[in-house]
Amino acid sequence: AQTVTQSQPEMSVQEAETVTLSCTYDTSESDYYLFWYKQPPSRQMILVIRQEAYKQQNATENRFSVNFQKAAKSFSLKISDSQLGDAAMYLCAYRSEEKLTFGTGTRLTIIP
Amino acid sequence: NAGVTQTPKFRVLKTGQSMTLLCAQDMNHEYMYWYRQDPGMGLRLIHYSVGEGTTAKGEVPDGYNVSRLKKQNFLLGLESAAPSQTSVYFCASSSWGAWGSAEAFFGQGTRLTVV
């Protein structure tokens, strides 16, 4: 069974600084996707970034980028120039064809 | 474009009562999921479906049943609610491979309290 591990229950960062959230996963499959979702207090699930396993290039979306290490099964999220609106729960997710499996989340606090 | 719609958004049940949560999607997605979210535990998969007429158990299926009679709808039932089922429930849908991006689209969640 696939598992996703987020070892940082809580993180904090100074506004305008950079923070990295870690995520590791376990799988024996070769075809899969990885995602980071943001969940603000409204509970809405917002896709932040997506990575296809067959792509070696790390995905980037504006201030958000990932470090995808396929052999190490690691998928960390870097947030640059942190803003107050980035405060939320961040959930790492692994998607095989059938299932979508989440980690336990990292709650990110932005310090003004 | 409505996306994924869950009903109801809030519900309070007494122990032993039954209820059904409805999830509807208008994106023609094959895959649909039901999750529960509890503090410190992320989203845990209850049941999922890979197409109309199919269902499968996820990580925490006990006490829940599901049905997918129509492609656009995925129902989650609680036959005899227990306080341990107090949680926030999310429905999601997605495509796969050549038919889409594999991204999951989520409903707004249902906060269920069992007293």
In this model, does residue B100 exceed pLDDT 70? no
The amino acid present at B100, given as its one-letter code, is G
**Which helix (H) or strand (E) element contains residue A12?**
strand A10-14
> Are residues B31 and A98, on separate chains, in Cβ contact within 8 Å?
yes
Scanning the structure block, which residue is given the tokens 């341990």? B84
What is the rounded average pLDDT of the residues A45-62? 93
pLDDT confidence of residue B98: 59
First to last CA, chain A: 41
A chain contacts of residue B50, beta-carbon cutoff 8 Å: 98
B10 touches chain A (CB under 8 A): no
What is the rounded average pLDDT of the residues A76-97? 96
CA distance B15 to chain A (A): 25
Written in H, E and C, the secondary structure of B77-114 is EECCCCHHHCEEEEEEEECCHHHCCCCCEECCCEEEEE
Confidence label for A99 from pLDDT (cuts 50, 70 and 90): confident
| Probe site for chain B from A24, A32, A45, A89 (most B CB atoms < 10 A) | A45
pLDDT confidence of residue A70: 94
pLDDT confidence of residue B102: 87
pLDDT confidence of residue A40: 96
B41 touches chain A (CB under 8 A): yes
User: Closest chain B residue to A5 measured between Cα atoms?
Assistant: B42
| Probe site for chain A from B10, B37, B101, B105 (most A CB atoms < 10 A) | B37
B chain contacts of residue A35, beta-carbon cutoff 8 Å: 103-104
Q: Are B95 and B71 in contact (CB under 8 A)?
A: no
Scanning the structure block, which residue is given the tokens 């999220």? A77
pLDDT digits (tens, 9 = 90+) for B51-61: 999 999 999 99
